[in-house]
Structure 1
Amino acid sequence: MSVSPDHDAGMMSDPSDAQRSLTAAALAFAQKNLDPGTAEREKGDPVKDPAWRALWQKCGDFGLFGLGVPEEYGGAGHDVLTTIMALEAIGQGCRDNGLTLAINGHIWTVLYPILAFGSDAQKKKYVPGLCDGSLVGAHGLTERETGSDAMKMTTTARERDGGFVLNGAKAFVGMGPACDLAIVFAKTDPDKGAWGVSAFLVETSDAGFIRGAADEKMGLRTVPLGPLGFDNCWIPKDRLLGPVGAGMSIFQHTMEWERCFIFSSHVGAMARQLKDCTAYARSRETFGVPIIDHQSVSNRLADMRLRLETSRLLLYRAASLKDKKRPAPLEAAMAKLHISEAFAASSLDAVRIFGGRGYLSADGVERDLRDATAGLIYSGTSDIQRQIIARLLD
């Protein structure tokens, strides 16, 4: 079903002609290039499937990764709002939530931290490749036994011979099994607490780097996720991201951007989901009337629309703050919490509206529900976001 991007909702002013043109192009690109074959990709192995890397390269060729990257590094130089509008359109046009999550993770947790904290040499070396699709990035903080308690990490980096020797392992790393470059956090001085963690740019060709096998999972099956290991992995000092001891500051900065915008494409998915459910409810009849005339169904559609609009408002509000160079810890937590919960709730409503067909895999309705469940966990669980919001209350 071909749909048009609808970004007027949630905006304080009308989109510009340039924004409308870009989002229309992004929607058409996703429908033509990214959406076909989603069901087949879900059954395969994204690490071994050459078609997956070809899709990634198409995204690079389209300019998707570099939307908000300065032109001097190969990007388009768009502001944050325009960038997330285009990413929203990608989610509306592509049913592959795993791929769209991978795209957003690559942008917000790899590209943006390097732009913010990388040296000129690091930016010149890595950002063009991360923009044009020739490099796949990953972000390694979480460990299997630490979860949200990041300071209990056991990965260490000992300074030696003009560099650092990494030992340890990271878990649940999105794109880990397929990445070329990873931002890895490790303790350089365990006695200094939060000031004893540093961030490193690790290339997968580095001796001692161990790429783990992709984990099987409930949803988001088209994005590889798995562990990364480091066995006396030597990293030259010029690949330290930011100064020694700045790792947790870099992580907090990254998390704010990630929580604000990693759901950009999922908001687009909610728009597509609502259109599909509305069309089905108008065409499907029971007891002599379209099911949209049954209050129980129309109420669900109304709730889905409300969740979509409030999600957009929070997403665009966060973009407005970031375009003004303002911090947004509260807005990031609210956006992450609300949009993740909204996508999960609307996905369950979609299954209910489609009934038996929604439970079957043929129409892809149930895929959104499996995919949406992960959003309640990654980038900080919903419970963590509620704690952050409570701490930031006036």
Structure 2
Amino acid sequence: MDFSWSPEQRAAQDAVAQAVRDVFEDSPVTGFFTPKHWRALGELGLLGLCVPTRYGGRGLGALETAGMVEAFGRACTSTGLVFAASAHLFACTVPVAAFGSAAVKERLLPGLCSGELVAGNAMTEAEAGSDVSRLAVHAERTAGGWLLTGEKSFVSNGPAADVYVTYATTDPDAGHLGVTAFVVERTAAGLTAGEPFGKLGLSACPAGTVTFDGCYVPDEQVLGEEGTGGAVFQHSMGWERACLFAGYLGLMDRLLDRSVEHARTRRQFGHRIGDFQAVSGRVVDMKLRLDSARLLLHRACWEMDRGDDATLSVALSKLAVSEGALASAVDAVQLFGGRGYRSEDGIEAYLRDTLPGTIFSGTSDIQRLLIAKELGL
């Protein structure tokens, strides 16, 4: 088994990391991302990493995509921007590329890859978070298409999005087999995107509600077939739970570097604080979590590229990365002490940005349920 990147892969990752540093040093993200930021990501190829080249993507497999996202997460100090771009790609662009009609792919994928368009994943509802088989948003048949009605309560990128991938109940009696996936453009009559709401972290990524009031969606904008929305969603979640969380590997790497430097230079009681086992032990745990999580994530992506059933590996990877990143952020706040609690050093931002990783894309408890099921429990 080869654990190394090829020289060409490493060079591509280093080039993206340097380009990200250059772009965002000149144009830092201080609030929500702007169209300028988004187009810059498109120009760097980060919005279409795993999309076929014929549509403007880079055509990479899951493992190479994860390597590029990790480089992005390491270089970009705005984790909210990394998250926004990854949610756009894996939760929205991937299902359009995999399940969209030929006409939809030709019309939307080039703009989604270039940064001309922003996409939002409209799945979560007030009463449907982990249980996505009971969606209140419903779709009724009409001439040539469907009428969607209801509200999605938490749509990342929602206030800025031009395109939404959404899911609605089309057969209430069929459970998860009664859910259908749609791609809906913001200009569709009956669609209203809410204003951004406040949230704990990932501040560069706006989030809000999306309401459908008899919103007409033509048949050609169904993703997959009627009733296959559950399969479409799980396909996108496989990519999201693996490759999106590569961005958190980059964050963990950056946080480890900052913690090592602080432990080397901060002095107390006449010694570097890194000389104290209470401090060095925390740093060692951060390194252990990072390398363990990276190996699990790479295995999950490797299995995806082979076409294997990666359900177990993806769940293990998502759980390890999300929980590991949060634990390391807590350790860093403790290690930096008062400076870790103050906003000017940015350490507390790591804590705010890692906490939601244990919630979105399936909570940690949901991952444990999936793992238990795969183990036969």
Q: Could you say which TM-score interval applies, normalised by the shorter chain?
A: over 0.9
**1:157-176 correspondence to structure 2 within 5 Å:** 157-176=139-158
Report whether the alignment pairs 1:13 with 2:21: no
Residues in 2 aligned to 1:301 and 1:35: alpha-carbon distance in whole angstroms: 28
- Is the aligned partner of 1:77 residue 2:59? yes
Change (3 A) 1:29 1:327: same
Bigger mean CA offset, 102-111 vs 27-36? 27-36
Question: Contact between 1:122 and 1:239, CA under 8 Å: does it hold in 2?
Answer: yes
Q: Residues 35 and 366 (structure 1 numbering): CA distance in 2 closer, same or farther, change over 3 Å? A: farther
In structure 2, how many angstroms separate the alpha carbons of the residues matched to 1:77 and 1:334?
26
2:315 maps to amino acid: A
Read off the aligned partner of 2:8 and give its amino acid letter.
Answer: A
Which one is further off, 77-86 or 128-137?
Answer: 77-86
TM-aligned CA deviation for residue 37 of structure 1: 6.4
Paired amino acid for 1:197: V
Matched-pair contact (CA < 8 Å) for 2:96–2:183: no
Match of 1:25 in 2: 15
SS at match of 1:300: helix
C-alpha distance in 2, partners of 1:34/1:103? 14
Whole-angstrom distance in 2 between the partners of 1:245 and 1:78: 29
* CA distance, structure 2, for counterparts of residue 88 and residue 337 of structure 1: 17
Q: Describe the SS at the equivalent of 2:375.
A: coil
1:343 aligns with 2:325: yes
- Taking the aligned partners of 1:36 and 1:281, their CA distance within structure 2 comes to 30
Q: Does 1:223 align with 2:205?
A: yes
Q: Deviations over 1:91-150 (max 9, x none)?
A: 111111110011111111111111211122221111111100001111111101221111
Alignment check: 8 A CA contact 1:34 1:96 kept: no
- In the alignment, structure 1 residue 103 sits paired with structure 2 residue 82: no
Judged with a 3 Å threshold, the aligned counterparts in structure 2 of structure 1 residues 94 and 36 are, in CA distance, closer, same or farther, namely farther
Which residue number corresponds to residue 295 of structure 2?
313
Report the Cα offset of residue 266 of structure 1.
0.8
Q: Which moved more, 1:134-143 or 1:75-84?
A: 75-84
Determine if the alignment matches structure 1 residue 370 to structure 2 residue 352: yes
CA distance in 2, matches of 1:13, 1:149: 37
| One of 115, 119, 143 as aligned partner of 1:137 | 119
| Cα distance in 2 between the residues matched to 1:174 and 1:166 | 20
Letter paired with 2:147: V
Separation in 2, partners of 1:231, 1:125: 25
For 1:251, the equivalent position in structure 2 comes to 233
**Would you say 1:34 and 2:16 are equivalent positions?**
no
2-structure distance, mates of 1:253, 1:327: 11
Report the residue type matching 2:176 in the other structure.
A
Report how far residue 255 of structure 1 moved: 1.5
Aligned length: 376
Shift of 1:78: 2.1
CA contact (8 A) 2:101 2:221 kept: no
Corresponding residue of 1:3: none
Aligned-residue offset at 1:197: 1.0
Deviations, residues 331-380 of structure 1 (Å, cap 9, x unaligned): 11111111100000000111111111111011111000011111111111
Give the aligned residue type for 1:125.
R
Aligned to 1:322: 304
Q: How far apart in 1 are the matches of 2:293 and 2:24? A: 24
Counterpart secondary structure, 2:358: coil
Amino acid of the structure 2 residue aligned with 1:148: S
CA drift of 1:156 comes to 0.8
1:192-271 maps to which residues of 2 (within 5 A)? 192-271=174-253
Deviation at 1:15, TM superposition (A): 1.1
In structure 2, C-alpha distance between the alignment counterparts of 1:300 and 1:36, rounded to whole Å: 34
Q: Secondary structure at the match of 2:359?
A: coil
TM-score, normalised to structure 1's length? 0.93
Q: Which sections of structure 1, spanning at least 5 residues, go unmatched? A: 1-10
Equivalent residues in 2 for 1:297-308, closer than 5 Å: 297-308=279-290
Equivalent residue for 2:46? 64
Tell me the residue number matched to 1:293.
275
Q: Say which SS state the counterpart of residue 147 (structure 2) adopts.
A: strand
Q: How far apart, CA to CA, are the structure 2 residues paired with 1:87 and 1:28?
A: 13
- Does structure 2 retain, via aligned residues, the 8 Å contact 1:35–1:94? no
Gaps of 5+ in 2: none
Runs of 4+ more than 4 Å apart? 35-38
Residue 159 of structure 2: aligned partner: 177
Question: Distance between the aligned counterparts of 2:261 and 2:27, measured in 1?
Answer: 22
Q: Percent identity?
A: 43
Separation in 2 of the partners of 1:61 and 1:200? 27
**Residues of 2 paired with 1:35 and 1:366: CA distance?**
21
- Contact 1:30/1:93 (8 A) holds in 2: yes
**Structure-1 separation of matches of 2:309 and 2:99:** 16
Structure 1 residue 192, shift from structure 2 partner: 2.0
Match of 2:94 in 1: 112
Bigger CA drift: 202-211 or 242-251? 242-251
1:35 CA displacement: 5.7
